Each structure stands twice: as C-alpha cells, then as structure tokens.
Structure 1
Amino acid sequence: MTNDTYSDTYYANGNEVQLFERAYRQRLPVMLTGPTGCGKTRLVEHMGTLLERPVVTISCHDDLTSSDLVGRFMVTGGDVVWNDGPLTRAVKTGAICYLDEVVEARHDSLAVLHSLTDHRRALYLDRAGEVVHAPESFMLVCSYNPAYRSSLKELKPSFRQRFVTLPMRYLPPEREAEVIVAETGVGTATAQRLVRCATAIRTAEAAFHFEPPSTRVLVTAAHLIAAGTTELEAAEACVLAPLSSDGAIAEGLREVAAAGLADAESTRY
C-alpha cells in the first residue's frame, strides 16, 4: 500500500494509514488529532473499507452518558429488556467504534472505555451483569481537535496515554486541490483558487482567533460553483460567513481571502 491516492478520494498525508493498520493488527486503540475537517473521519471510513470492518460512529456531546454508550434496561411490551448501546454492539460484532470529538463527552462517561483500552479488552456492563470480551477484530478509535478545546474540556493525560496518537493536518495545497476536483468535478484552476483562499485565512488564523476553514467547506463551496454560483459568492457563503459574525473581523477575512482569489473571474471583495 502506497502513500498516494485511496478509494473514496482519501489522500494520505503521511504514514497514518500504515500506523492505523499496524495498531489494528496489534489490537491497540487509536486517537486521531488535528483541525476540524482535515480528514479524520474520512480516514476512519477508509480504514473500515481497507480492513473490511463495519464502522460504528458515535458523535460525542455534553449530554452523552455511559448508558448512551453501553445500553440500558427499557420497558418493551410490558417486559423490562436490556438494550445494547452502540459501543456494546460494536464490541460484540467486532466493528471499528469511532468516537468523534471525544473531548466533548463527560469524563465520567469515558470511564467505561478504560477496560477496552488496556490488556483486558473487555466491556463491563454492570447493570446487566455481563462482561463482553472484545474479539480481535474490534478496534476503538477516538478523535478530537486539540487546538480548539476549552480548558474545561480537556482530556486527561492518563486517558490520552491509553491510545496510539496519530496527529493529522491539512493536505499540501496541490493535494487538497486534487481532492476538491475529485469530489466535485470543478476545474483544477477553480480548486486551486479555493485552496489559496483557505491557505491565506489559515495563515492569518492566529491573529483572528477562529477555527480555520476546512477541506470540507472548500468541497461545499466547490459544489456550489459546479451548480453555477460564482467563486466569490461561494467563498463568501461557505468559507467566510461561517467563521465570524463580527463585522470588523469578517471584513478583515474578506481582505485576506481576496488575495487567494485574486485571479477569479469576478470582481474582488
């Protein structure tokens, strides 16, 4: 397997595919870190295809409880019946269980993962009185964006050290443009201008203090362009508008983005 293109337009940005596969073969959990929209979820989906395993995705949030993960007793047809949660189903079926933005989950909810991330590789269903031992094909994968986490939402070092950590980043500009072309069918020149626009904003990100535009939003903008929207209108709606509602910051972003779209067919911002 090379570091070039992959199915579903996944483009490797280093050795993350090889490391992910080796972790899977050694039955080790993986933590993906990196900015929003840099390809973490796409990597997991790609690896599910590559390893021929189903992927069970759990979107983490403040209200996620351990019962939401492992399951709970429910009344069904007058009987009290145990219903497995997504984590339990993933363990039993030997799937890849992907906890997206795990930092958003409550710390007490994450405690149920501890026994799955060490030598035990087991899930303890205390309320059901059951221990589920993970088959060799089961893998636990988590992701989060360390650059934009709140000080109140920070993963404990003891939790992070349970995982093989794979840092991810945005693709080089020429490869990012290739992804946009492959996903949307727009011309290479258009894709390159969108990438230049995003790169200019990402470079200025430290001054503006916002989350930089992702590859995902560039693909969305390109879809609008493919449907007939001008490049500047698409950049405004998909790249600039979601970043800030502050008028002064928005105007500054337009000036930064204008450099990236300098040779677009329409007038500048």
Structure 2
Amino acid sequence: MGNTMELIDTSAPIAIKNAKEVFETTSPFFDKMQTKIFPATQHTPSVGRFKFKESSLTRLILWAAAANLPAAMFGAEMKRNMYTYGPSGCGKTRLVEAFAARTGRSLFREQCSKETTLSDLFGSWKLCGKDQGMTWVYGKVCQWAMQPNSILLLDEWDQVPADVAMGLNGVLDGAPIHLDQTGEIIKIAPGCMIMATGNTNGRGSAGGQGGSAAVYKGTQKMNFANQDRFNVMFETYLSEEEEADLLVSETKASPLAAKAMASLAAKIRANFIGLNEDAGAGGMAFQFTITTRNVLNWSMNFNLLTQMGKKVEDAYVEALRMTVLDFAPKDEAAAILSTWSTIMGNP
C-alpha cells in the first residue's frame, strides 16, 4: 500500500468573511460578496501584499464557487478547472498563491516541463533507506486529491507533452484516481480545485498578447480535449501606477524613483508584447522584457548601491544592468538605456 499523509480537517470553513476585506479590494462589485476561509495547513502559502485586479478576482471567486456546487445546481456539468496564461513574470503563480493564502487553502504546486511524466504527477515507488526498502511516494496530484478544498497548481502546463497532459483528463473531470501500482482508489476530496498556468494560450501563441512560442522555448500545443476541460484567464503586467505603488510599499523606493522605474518597465513591455505576434505571423519577436520580479529587484539593488556610496545616476544604471539588462542583446540594451536617459531628463 502507499504511504500515508498527515491531513488537517479542511472539509468545512472556519469563517465566512466579506470578500472585499479578505482580498483588500476597493471594487464595489465585491461589497456584498462573501468568501469562505478554511483552516490553514503546512501547504498553505504565506503571501504579503498583493493587488487583485477586479476581472481576475471575479474569475477566481467563480472558480472557487464552481468547485463547491451542489450536484443538482445545473443539469449540465460545469468546468471546475482554470488555465491562466500571460507573459513571463506578470504574476500568474503569485496570483494563485495569494488567493490560497487569503482563503487558507492548501496549495500543491507541480513545476512542469517537457520532461514531466505521469509518475511525477501521481507518484512512484522510491527507495527510502536500506531498512525501509521501497516505499510508495504520492505525487502532488494525489496529495491534492486527499486534502479537501485544496488547490493543485500545474505551473508551465503548456510545456507538458500532450500525451502526459491527456493522462490527467480523468482528474480534470473529477473522476477517482486509480493507482494500479498500489491498488488504491483515491476519490477527489470535496472542494478541490485545479489551476494550470502557461505563457501561451495553449495553441502555441497568446493571440498577439506577448506569448509567442518563438520566445518561450519548449512550449507545446495542448491537445484540444485537454484544453477543453479548462476555463481560461489572461493575465498581464500591472499598470504603471499600480507598479509604482508596489515599488514604494515593497522596496522603500521614493515615489519619483518608483514612477521612473515603472515607466521604463512599461515601455520595454510594450515593445515585447507588441512584437510577439501569433506563431507564423512572420514578425521577429522582441527578445527582452522586464518582469515585475525584476523591477522589484532593480529597486532593491539601487537602494543598496546608493547606501554603498554609488552616485544616484550611476546606481540606477548599475542596478538595472546587474538585475537583468546584461541578459539583453546589445542593440536592445542600448535602446533601453537611451529610453532611460530620456525618462530621467538626461541629454
């Protein structure tokens, strides 16, 4: 038989709170909306400040509601899985982590790649010491299925070979998991949810929205039968104003510095997203962008360099280079530095 997991009873919520308070949103759409809070476990992530967009939060709450629908709510079967795609570093994974953190849900994250196998997902026999011999170790899919109201996060799902993805179709439909290796049948616990993320729309592009397979090497075209089991959500970068606010709150940047950094990031992304068209469109993809993660690190590196005594104007450039810019092709790096000079008012 397979090994056991230590489970906390998360079958019932410990509180029902106002969604506006839970997700710290000012949108009046959520004024009268309630959301369930579940007991946190060792698998519940801890996420600090996060700004939920109204459209994204609406779909996340709908996604959670679908996972707990009464059997007789509709005559038809409702999709209970979500696929979120968008450009690199725009916060797709953190969005799911923040939602789990706010609601107390356990999160089981599988980092996918073209090497991912069904054994990685479901589990395998492993040698766990000379005295223990071979022990069955559950994969993330089985761990998730046994924890009520938990989230299975399949990161970079558009990297997974189609035949492996198809092996998850039964789980996506809510069917029990049959482990032939151990003889177990695992019934998916109530309220369990599945989120997959990717850089493309599952068809090798992102509909002209900055997710061309020409940039994201290794992406696969999803089998349509697998893709058809997901609802979909497109995520992109924060607006300049939102990102400037984030830089001030998370990196102690001055408002002026935060505004300048957010402005450069927005201009770089406009080129990256605008020039990454659908596969086969005939255009050459812009090869460089700056993610939210990198903007935050640019600001923190700048802060430390100025504390070390670096001149402010030099610290900006050095911090940008060491954070990300030296990854860029020379011509693109030169263009970006020229744009930065313009933003800072230098000749």
With normalisation by structure 1, the TM-score equals: 0.87
Q: Distance in 1 between matches of 2:163 and 2:153?
A: 18
Q: Which has the higher helix share?
A: 1
- Amino acid in structure 1 at the alignment position of 2:55: N
- 1:10, CA displacement in angstroms? 1.0
Q: 1:251 aligns with which of 324, 329, 334?
A: 334
In structure 1, the partner of 2:302 is 225
Q: Distance in 2 between matches of 1:58 and 1:152?
A: 16
- Is 2:82 aligned against 1:18? no
Q: Distance in 2 between matches of 1:79 and 1:53?
A: 34
Q: Distance in 2 between matches of 1:152 and 1:37?
A: 16
In structure 2, the partner of 1:153 is 220
- Structure 1 ranges of 4+ moved more than 4 A: none
- Is 2:121 aligned against 1:69? yes
Q: Distance in 2 between matches of 1:71 and 1:182?
A: 41
Q: Distance in 2 between matches of 1:112 and 1:99?
A: 14
Q: Distance in 1 between matches of 2:219 and 2:296?
A: 32
In structure 2, the partner of 1:173 is 240
Q: Distance in 1 between matches of 2:145 and 2:56?
A: 23
Q: Distance in 2 between matches of 1:59 and 1:233?
A: 32
In structure 2, the partner of 1:236 is 321
C-alpha contact 1:201 1:257 (8 A) present in aligned 2:
no
String of CA shifts for 1:108-137, please: whole Å, max 9, x gaps: 32233211212x343232322322111123
Greater Cα offset, 156-165 or 175-184:
156-165
In structure 2, the partner of 1:88 is 142
- 1:247, CA displacement in angstroms? 2.4
- Amino acid in structure 2 at the alignment position of 1:148: S
In structure 2, the partner of 1:209 is 286
- Tell me, what secondary structure is at the counterpart of 1:124? strand
Q: Distance in 2 between matches of 1:88 and 1:151?
A: 26
C-alpha contact 1:148 1:211 (8 A) present in aligned 2:
no
Q: Distance in 1 between matches of 2:175 and 2:66?
A: 12
- Is 2:45 aligned against 1:8? no
- Amino acid in structure 2 at the alignment position of 1:258: S
- Amino acid in structure 1 at the alignment position of 2:258: A
Q: Distance in 2 between matches of 1:152 and 1:97?
A: 20
Aligned Cα root-mean-square deviation (Å): 2.3
| Paired residue total | 260
- Is 2:195 aligned against 1:141? yes
C-alpha contact 2:158 2:219 (8 A) present in aligned 1:
no
With normalisation by structure 2, the TM-score equals: 0.69
Q: Distance in 1 between matches of 2:109 and 2:266?
A: 30
Residues 121 and 15 of structure 1, relative CA distance in 2, 3 Å threshold: farther
Q: Distance in 1 between matches of 2:164 and 2:331?
A: 40
String of CA shifts for 1:106-165, please: whole Å, max 9, x gaps: 2232233211212x3432323223221111231111101111335862222322221111
Residues 4 and 235 of structure 1, relative CA distance in 2, 3 Å threshold: farther
Q: Which one has the largest radius of gyration?
A: 2
String of CA shifts for 1:220-240, please: whole Å, max 9, x gaps: 111112213422221222242
- Is 2:104 aligned against 1:40? no
Structure 1: give runs of 5+ residues left out of the alignment: none
Residues 112 and 4 of structure 1, relative CA distance in 2, 3 Å threshold: farther
- 1:250, CA displacement in angstroms? 2.6
- Amino acid in structure 1 at the alignment position of 2:104: E
Q: Distance in 2 between matches of 1:78 and 1:9?
A: 44
Structure 2: give runs of 5+ residues left out of the alignment: 1-18, 28-46, 68-79, 201-210, 276-283, 307-314
- Is 2:145 aligned against 1:105? no
String of CA shifts for 1:11-38, please: whole Å, max 9, x gaps: 1223212211221221211111111111
Among the aligned pairs, what percent are the same residue? 21
- 1:74, CA displacement in angstroms? 2.5
- Tell me, what secondary structure is at the counterpart of 2:166? helix
- Amino acid in structure 2 at the alignment position of 1:66: L
String of CA shifts for 1:28-70, please: whole Å, max 9, x gaps: 1111111111111111111112221111111111221110111
